[in-house]
Amino acid sequence: MSRATATAHPNIALIKYWGKRDLGLNLPAVGSLSLTLDRFHTTTQVTWGAPRDEVHLNGSPAASSFARKVLAHLDRIDPHRPPCAVDTHNSFPTAAGLASSASGFAALTLAGIVAAGLLYDPIRASILARQGSGSACRSLWGGFVRWHRGTRADGQDSHGEPVAGPDHWDVRMVVALVTSAQKAVGSTEGMIRTRRSSPYYPTWVETSEADLSEGLAAVQARDLERLGTAMERSTYKMHATMHTAEPPILYWQPATVAVLHTVAALRQRGVGAWCTMDAGPNVKILCEAADAHAVARAVGEQVQQVEILGPGGDPTVEIE
């Protein structure tokens, strides 16, 4: 029996991943770029060689669909594995558009590899994490991370790559939590429906490479206006494909739209702040560290809760 505990941070996409070129391997239709966050984290302990397979989430036995996904992921690490016990905790609401699947599968991959006694190679780990949940392949590093779309059918060239560390740029993500309720349509289902039925999906795929190049250049130059503009463009295009799917997928709540207007008004007053949203109603606002409290105050009354997060570091692992 051996045991390892890993901690990984969620990441928020600045240039979005939406759509798969291969469903089974979670190969993306587009490349993406993210920022790993500090403070929020998933901590996962894997016991390799337990009396039976067992999965706990936030202190309680996990729902069977969640447990199946977790155990199937350990099978990817070693198809001949012994029974394993997994105990995982999120320091933030699960499945509310705050990327718990990203930090979750990153921490599970790392703890699983180390508990199994395998050599840790971040690129290999990123390829494995991607198969659990696409965005998880970006949480294997801190700071700004690019996920390569890749072209190979086996996915060996589709993984994360660190672009700039957490100290590169002192930006903030102000997370405006509209609700912590579980989302009605999960990302995977949403991507399948969008690809199948939105007339805008081909345009989304065709134009996203240019957004990615723009985002990467903006990060290198520490140009917030350039990055924020590309980020909002990527977000609105992604949500346009959701809104035009059949049946449509509308994650936005009235408070989501209120926050979008507030941030646009802040910009009119000279505050550099830009919005992004994922598969949920919450809004994440990118701004300079010096503006974060003013942004949080401006949107605070419109939502349930506001959190200010900065760039986070690499995941960590301890073996017991």
Strand partners, 46: 4, 86
141 binds ligand DP6 (CB under 6 A): no
* 213/30 Cα distance (integer angstroms): 12
What are the tokens at 141? 């590093």
Q: For strand 84-90 and strand 54-57, is the pairing parallel, antiparallel, or unpaired? A: parallel
Strand partners, 276: 284
Smallest separation, CB 280 to ligand DP6 (Å): 8
Shorter beta-carbon distance to ligand DP6: residue 48 or 274: 274
16 binds ligand DP6 (CB under 6 A): yes
Shorter beta-carbon distance to ligand DP6: residue 136 or 299: 136
- Cα–Cα separations (whole angstroms), residue 143 to 163, 172, 201: 8, 12, 29
Peptide bond into 247 cis (omega under 30): yes
Q: Which of 134, 143, 150, 311 binds ligand DP6 (CB under 6 A)?
A: 134
Shorter beta-carbon distance to ligand DP6: residue 18 or 48: 18
Q: Crossing angle of helices 64-77/122-132, nearest 10°?
A: 150
Shorter beta-carbon distance to ligand DP6: residue 232 or 278: 278
229 binds ligand DP6 (CB under 6 A): no
Measured from each CB, the residue nearest to ligand DP6 is 134
279 binds ligand DP6 (CB under 6 A): yes
18 binds ligand DP6 (CB under 6 A): yes
96 binds ligand DP6 (CB under 6 A): no
26 binds ligand DP6 (CB under 6 A): yes
Amino acid identity of 11?
N
Shorter beta-carbon distance to ligand DP6: residue 191 or 224: 191
For the four alpha carbons of 235, 201, 190 and 257, in that order, the dihedral sign comes to positive
Sole window of 132-140, 262-270, 285-293, 306-314 interacting with ligand DP6 (rule: CB under 6 A): 132-140
Touching ligand DP6, residues 171-200 (CB under 6 A):
187-188
What are the tokens at 17? 């991943």
Q: Which residues contact 222 (CB under 8 A, 6 or more apart)?
A: 168, 169
Sole window of 12-20, 69-77, 148-156, 175-183 interacting with ligand DP6 (rule: CB under 6 A): 12-20
106 binds ligand DP6 (CB under 6 A): no
* Distance of alpha carbon 120 from the chain centroid: 22
Shorter beta-carbon distance to ligand DP6: residue 124 or 237: 237
Shorter beta-carbon distance to ligand DP6: residue 26 or 126: 26
Provide the terminal-to-terminal Cα distance of the chain, rounded to the nearest Å: 10
Phi-psi region of 138 (alpha: psi -120 to 50; beta: other; left: phi over 0): alpha
Residues that bind ligand DP6 (CB under 6 A): 13, 16-18, 26, 32, 101, 133-135, 187-188, 278-279
